[in-house]
Amino acid sequence: MSALDDEIRDLMRFAAQRSILPRFRQLADHEVEMKGVDDPVTIVDREVEAFLTEALTRLAPGVAVVGEEAVHADKAVLEALSGQCWIIDPLDGTANFAEGKEPFGIIIALADAGRAVAGWIYDPNRDRFCHTRAGEGAFVNGTRITARTTGQERPVSAVSRIFLTPEQSAMVDARLAPHYSLVDIPRCAAEQYPRLALGENDVSSFKRTLAWDHAAGVLWLNEAGGKAARLDGSEYRVDEQDKPGLVGASSPAIWDEFIARVIG
């Protein structure tokens, strides 16, 4: 791994050991708030984001930091996504964490001019560190990996119905259920992207495409030889997070087949 990869891994591991793991299943009621419907935030989210923001600013002075909680407090922070910036999800899978369940993780990406150029995904429960840099491949704990399919006759499709309209949910039943083994998503992009590359899931669709959830994972999956792109095949850009629809797959062929069934 590069010196930067080592530095990011150490920051993520320290944040997990100091703030995340000691509070897992130990949160008091007043340490969890709701930002919106089905959208909790905990004291851990804020503490980890503050730590990582300070650490990354020291690491690269002058590079903006876009954190999920900073954006919630001030939408103007999103303007930095069009330039060079760090993107932080301090506790991906907050809903799971708040309920005392796995998975959850930390996600950091580095972007420039609207495109992710590097990404890091850390699972503190497994001490699994996924990392990538544009054009240099995808890695897990320093070992280069190539995306692999599940090998199942019926590809495994992870689809969440949480944000789907009734019409969209009916489409899943009519067009996807007959051809795929449907499984639920883990509600954690830090886990879903590894599942797509490491032979557990074949394809997954996302309605919400927030930069802190997807910037690192999209780059990592594409660098592994899978495919993550918008429904129309265009690239995912971090500065277009309000644009709905994103599909990730363990291979370009599975991505193409899935899109053909969704689009019709």
Which CATH number goes with the domain that contains 47? 3.30.540.10
Residue 172 or 144, more confident:
144
pTM (2 d.p.): 0.96
In a domain, 35, yes or no: yes
User: 163 and 140 share a domain?
Assistant: no
Percent of the chain whose predicted confidence (pLDDT) is above 90? 87
In a domain, 150, yes or no: no
Residue 213 counted as an annotated binding residue: yes
Within the chain, residue ranges assigned H as helices are 3-15, 43-59, 68-73, 94-98, 166-171, 189-197, 211-223, 252-263
Helix (H) or strand (E) holding 122: strand 115-123
For residue 149, name the pLDDT band (cuts at 50, 70, 90). Answer: very high
User: 134 and 177 share a domain?
Assistant: no
Structure tokens at 147: 């995306």
Residue 13 neighbours by CB distance under 10 Å? 15
Give the pLDDT confidence score for residue 172 in this predicted structure. Answer: 85
Rounded mean pLDDT, 88-93: 98
Query: How many domains does the chain divide into?
Result: 2
Residue 45 counted as an annotated binding residue: no
Judged by phi (left if over 0) then psi (alpha if -120 to 50, else beta), residue 138 lies in: beta
237 phi, psi to nearest 5 deg = -115, 140
User: 45 and 128 share a domain?
Assistant: yes
* Range scoring the smallest mean pLDDT among 6-15, 54-63, 186-195, 234-243: 234-243
In a domain, 196, yes or no: yes
User: 92 and 166 share a domain?
Assistant: no
Rounded mean pLDDT, 223-229: 98
Return the CATH number at 228.
Answer: 3.40.190.80
In a domain, 151, yes or no: no
In a domain, 53, yes or no: yes
In a domain, 149, yes or no: no
Residue 92 counted as an annotated binding residue: yes
User: 165 and 66 share a domain?
Assistant: no
**Bond from prior residue into 252 cis (ω within 30 degrees of 0):** no
User: 134 and 48 share a domain?
Assistant: yes
User: 132 and 202 share a domain?
Assistant: no
Domain span including residue 62? 3-144
Give the pLDDT confidence score for residue 148 in this predicted structure. Answer: 98
Q: Which of 35-44, 67-76, 171-180 has the highest mean pLDDT?
A: 67-76
Residue 14 pLDDT greater than 80, yes or no: yes
User: 132 and 229 share a domain?
Assistant: no
Q: What is the three-state SS of 205-224? A: EECCCCHHHHHHHHHHHHHC
User: 217 and 132 share a domain?
Assistant: no
User: 32 and 139 share a domain?
Assistant: yes
Residue 89 counted as an annotated binding residue: yes
Minimal CA–CA distance to 169: which of 179, 178, 159, 181?
A: 159
Say if residues 146 and 225 touch (Cβ distance below 8 Å): yes
Give the pLDDT confidence score for residue 1 in this predicted structure. Answer: 81
- What does each C-alpha distance from 106 to 64, 86, 148, 149, 243 come to in angstroms? 18, 13, 23, 25, 23
Last residue of a domain, one of 144, 177, 203: 144
Say if residues 169 and 125 touch (Cβ distance below 8 Å): no
Pairing of strands 227-229, 246-249: antiparallel
Torsion of CA 208, 213, 218, 220, to 10 degrees: -160
